Structure 1
Amino acid sequence: MMYEEQQQQVRTMMNSARNKMRSQVKVDSNRRRSGSTAGNGVEEDQRLEIVDLSGMSLDELPIPSLNLAAICKLDLSNNNLQNIPESLTARLLNLIVFDVRSNQLKTLPNSIGCLSKLKVLNVSGNLIQSLPRTIENCRSLEELNANFNKLSQLPDTIGFELQNLKKLSVNSNKLVFLPYSTSHLTNLRVLDARLNCLRSLPEDLENLINLEILNVSQNFQYLAELPYSIGLLISLVELDVSYNKITALPNSIGCLKKLQKLSVEGNPLVSPPAEIFEQGLNMVKEYLCDKINGTSKASHGNKKNSWFGKLAKCGTFNGVNLPAGDREGFIMPSYRSIDGMASPRYMGMFSPRRLFSPKTYFSR
């Protein structure tokens, strides 16, 4: 193709992108008050807009024909973008939804930390190896989707800063562990970390008091055990630990009163035994509770003297006996999200680690 023809094709594509930007802009029905927009570049009579540039095979972004501070949703998905300019991101001061899934991005701009109003960030289906540490400044973030990338780790303090996060999806990456701070995401409802290389989970899971779905399946030969604190996830409804290397479930799982679906296939499980699993979720819970309370022969070991056993002996955990009709919820064939909200409450001060080892816990 001649040079002139190539240039004409580029100009045509850019014009098409600009036209689509204009045609896809939707006006928010609520005008911004001058008091809430002072200093962010949005005038009193200006409205927030939605810009859709998805599926246009863009290699680079066209020069925008509108004030970037007026955009509340920017969709750049399904293109061929290899980078996002720092200067562009820094000016998206009112951005709430940012969708850049299915591109060729290897990094995210550090200026993403300027997006203080951002609530939804979708960077799935890219080539990203690490998230910028500045993402911790996006303190309004409620949903982060980073599936199908090349992440080997998450920022160490991500859980300390993103306190409004409700959904964290990092499946199909190369994560070896989840940072300790993950256990401080007290508003988190969905954690999807399947198809990684996880070798362990954070110990203090009891702080995730609103977590409803936990999926750590298909870490294959890497994940060999679950922490005992998994039994203190008081809002947990679905637990998928299938296709790992787990030989025994923690007895504490018997205390998960709201648990409706448990998927464990593909593990070399010894405890509970196969005949217990065949009787359904209700019997699995009862079996594990018996081990905690010391009423099972299998429980006369070191576990009887653990902190969980002490709590059970004091009557803190009495087990559950669900109706027989609940047994069909034992296997979870597929992953789905739950949209119901759990009421926020904080039980961290009553965790067994604080009750039995206060000096160790508070000296951190």
Structure 2
Amino acid sequence: MFLNKFFGTLLNVTQTIPESLTARLLNLIALDVHSNQLKALPNSIGCLSKLKTLNVSGNFLVSLPKSIQHCRSLEELNANFNKLIRLPDSIGYELTNLRKLSVNSNKLISLPISITHLTSLRALDARLNCLMILPDDLENLINLEILNVSQNFQYLTALPSSIGLLMNLIELDVSYNKITVLPESIGCMRRLRKLSVEGNPLVSPPAEVMEQNLQVVREYLTQKINGTAPKSPSKKKSWGFGKLVKYGTFNGGSRSWNREEREGFIMPEYRSIDSLASPRYSGMFSPRRLFSPRSYFSR
């Protein structure tokens, strides 16, 4: 542990990790070099076969070395707040023990197809990127419990049908994208407890369905799968920004939850994020405030 802390401090004065130094740390289990000025990781990082935790967040990385796939013991990879434009195409083929992958606040346009081979993955955080598409074979992520692809804004316009085959998914956040239609397969996600879709111009399901609880949304989508005409529930008053704050979505404070709320809530009203960017609220959308490099793996 002392070595990890000292190593991170040492890198404050450099932009690279020497290849020879990495190759000598063969027994290293955790490597934390977050919040430095790294522009690249050495290829020799693939020699760290015992490495379980790697935190390279808060640097200037444009890519990760292909050799990272040889870190077969890796369980947590945090690469938040970099300048990543891509992940290695083969990253998912060898990292079979990876449980948490966090790449938020980068410039990723897509996720490699090989990511669907990460069968041990439990949490995937790819918010605040430029994702235009998600891989088709998401159902292979059989242990995934948390998926966050929110705030890709105008880039992400649709979700693959396979997203509804993530049978162990508990939390799904697709808020603040350009999605107009939720896949009908989401109706099959019986373990889902939280669905966040606010900030999308949704057309289907319709607003009167989205204003209800998660169970109603699932029933509507299931009826569509079965080809039966869904019954339109009585329309409730739409939720404005004040109610978003009340329900804690935007740091509205802690509160007790009743049974219906614990089952998940959906914010269907579409608003451009610019309309909320008044001096009063603009600080709430600061990535540094919402997503610190350390916060994701502290949960």
- Which band: TM-score by shorter chain? 0.7 to 0.9
Residue of structure 1 in register with 2:44 after alignment: 111
Distance of aligned partners of 1:339 and 1:127 in 2 relative to their CA distance in 1, 3 Å threshold: closer
Given that 1:281 and 1:330 are in contact with CA atoms closer than 8 Å, whether structure 2 keeps it comes out as yes
| 1:52 counterpart residue number | 5
Note if contact 1:190-1:337 (Cα within 8 Å) is conserved in structure 2. Answer: no
Identify which of 30, 33, 53 aligns with 1:120.
Answer: 53
Matches for 1:1-364 after TM superposition, within 5 Å: 25=2, 50-53=3-6, 56=9, 58=10, 79-296=12-229, 325-328=259-262, 329-331=264-266
**Structure 1 runs not aligned, ≥5 long:** 1-23, 26-49, 61-78, 299-323, 341-364
Instruction: State the shift of 1:238 in Å.
Output: 0.2
CA distance in 1, matches of 2:206, 2:296: 30
> Could you tell me the percent identity over the aligned residues?
69
Offset of 1:161 from its aligned partner? 1.0
Is the CA contact (8 Å cut-off) linking 1:110 and 1:134 kept in structure 2?
yes
**1:275 deviation in Å?**
1.1
Equivalent pair of 1:164/1:187 in contact (CA under 8 Å):
yes
With a CA cutoff of 8 Å and minimum separation of 6, indicate the structure with the bigger relative contact order: 2
Residues 173-199 of structure 1: CA deviation (Å, up to 9, x unaligned):
010000000111100000000000101
- Aligned 8 A contact 1:124 1:145 in 2: yes
CA distance in 1, matches of 2:214, 2:296: 20
1:294 Cα deviation (Å)? 1.0
Q: Secondary structure at the match of 1:52?
A: helix
For 1:180 and 1:93, the matched residues in 2 are separated by 30
Once the two structures are TM-superposed, the CA of residue 80 in structure 1 deviates from its matched residue by: 3.7
How far does residue 290 in structure 1 lie from its aligned partner after superposition?
Answer: 0.7
Counterpart in the other structure of 2:252: none
Query: 8 Å contact 1:282–1:327 — kept in the other structure?
Result: no
1:289 & 1:255 partners in 2: Cα distance?
A: 7
Displacement after TM superposition at 1:278 (Å) = 1.2
CA displacement at 1:55 relative to structure 2: 7.4
Q: Aligned in 2, Cα 1:292/1:217: closer, same or farther, shift over 3 Å?
A: same
CA distance in 1, matches of 2:5, 2:218: 49
CA distance, structure 2, for counterparts of residue 55 and residue 188 of structure 1: 27
Count of aligned pairs between the two proteins: 248
Coordinate RMSD, CA, aligned: 2.4
The CA deviation at 1:337 is 6.6
Residue type of the partner of 2:36?
A: N
Q: Please state how far the C-alpha of 1:327 moved relative to its aligned partner.
A: 3.9
Asked which structure has the greater CA Rg, the reply is 1
Q: Give the counterpart letter for 1:295 in structure 2.
A: T
- Equivalent-residue separation in structure 1 for 2:6 and 2:298 (angstroms): 28
Which consecutive segments of 4 or more residues in structure 1 shift more than 6 A? 332-340
Whether contact under 8 Å (1:213, 1:338) holds in the other structure is no
3-state DSSP of counterpart to 2:163: helix
Relative to structure 1, is the Cα distance of residues 337 and 150 closer, same or farther in structure 2, using a 3 angstrom cutoff?
closer
TM-score (norm 2): 0.78
